[in-house]
Amino acid sequence: MATKGSSQPRARKFADETRTGLVRRARKMDRILQETYPDAHCELDFQNPFQLLVATVLSAQTTDVRVNLTTPGLFAKYPTPEDMAAANPEDLEQILRPTGFFRAKTKSVLGLSSALVDRFGGEVPRKLDDLVKLPGVGRKTANVVLGNAFGVPGITVDTHFGRLVRRFGWTDETEPEKVETVVAGLFPRKDWTMLSHRLIWHGRRICHARRPACGACPLAKLCPSYGTGPVDHDEAAKLVKTGPPPKTT
């Protein structure tokens, strides 16, 4: 029996799991997460695909909350790709400084804005192959934009997502693109975007990197990593975090 704060290896009842068993368990876990986080959504504020693209690039190595505090001023001054492509780099750096790595991010948003103007008529492309060719845009960012701005299903493998799918025993892969491929094979394509949101929400709120709140986790009975964090409910409940306040209209 696990004790408070103890760690334990992959539970025996999952060690010999068949492919069919894994698919069933993974989908059951997602159904539980759907009940747990019925309002799961992208936590970056945006009004159009360009804003989401830029906000996602800025979210690297910082929080969505910090990005949401920065982007209103950014988009008020540079509302379109044309405006941002023509921005003074020093002015952009001052706006983006709070997000960290601001020089690299300035270079990326200037580059992607110029590329949108020069190659796509100022419009954000709707294809992954085109998006990943933009400066500072990888598959993770591209899938965020496709899934949330255009309704094209995609799996967003950020640090939370990767950590959780390995803890859940869905895959042992560590490279984001391989993780994406494996997990995509466990779920219907139509579910990919919302699956990403739910896992990211769970990673931010309960399944933390250092001390997951195992004793307060709705997935405890289905998780081979149960016991990585405190299993006592009251102790675990103290680790549960709530999300940012609801958006106002």
**pLDDT above 90 (res 245):** no
Residue range 163-185, pLDDT digits in tens: 999 999 999 999 999 999 999 99
Average pLDDT, the chain: 92
- Give the per-residue pLDDT at 9: 39
Catalytic site includes residue 234: no
At the top level of CATH, the class of 12-36+154-237 is mainly alpha
Q: Give me the CATH topology for the region 49-149.
A: Endonuclease III; domain 1 (1.10.340)
pLDDT digits 0-9 by tens, 199-235: 999 999 999 999 999 999 999 999 999 999 999 999 9
- At 243 the pLDDT is 57
Task: Identify whether 158 is a catalytic site residue.
Answer: yes
Which of the following is catalytic: 127, 140, 232, 247?
A: 140
Other CB atoms within 10 A of residue 19 CB: 9
Assess whether the region 12-36+154-237 and the region 49-149 belong to the same CATH fold: no
- Which two three-digit tokens encode residue 17? 């799991």
Q: How far apart are CA 198 and CA 28, in angstroms?
A: 13
The full set of domain ranges for the chain reads 12-36+154-237, 49-149
pLDDT value for 14: 80
Of the residues 30, 64, 105, 158, which is catalytic? 158
Note whether 237 and 215 are within 8 A (CB): yes
Percentage of the chain modeled with pLDDT above 70? 92
Output the six-digit token pair for 234.
């009251």
What's the pLDDT score for residue 247? 34
pLDDT of 61-91, one tens digit each?
Answer: 999 999 999 999 999 999 999 999 999 999 9
CB 213 within 8 A of CB 237: yes
> Please, which residues have CB within 8 angstroms of residue 240's CB and are 6 or more apart in sequence?
205, 206, 213, 216
Q: What is the 3-state secondary structure (H, E, C) of 19-74?
A: HHHHHHHHHHHHHHHHHHCCCCCCCCCCCCHHHHHHHHHHCCCCCHHHHHHHHHHH
Q: Is the pLDDT of residue 149 over 60?
A: yes
Q: What is the pLDDT of residue 232?
A: 95
Of the candidates 131, 132, 148, 246, the one whose C-alpha atom is nearest the C-alpha of residue 196 is: 148
Question: Average of pLDDT values for 113-135?
Answer: 97
Tokens representing 19 are 């492919």
Nearest in space to 222 (alpha carbons), one of 39, 13, 7: 13
Give the per-residue pLDDT at 242.
Answer: 81
Cα→Cα distances 24→9, 57, 96, 167, 191, Å: 21, 34, 44, 16, 15
Whole-model pTM: value is 0.87
Neighbouring C-beta atoms of residue 77, cutoff 10 Å:
13
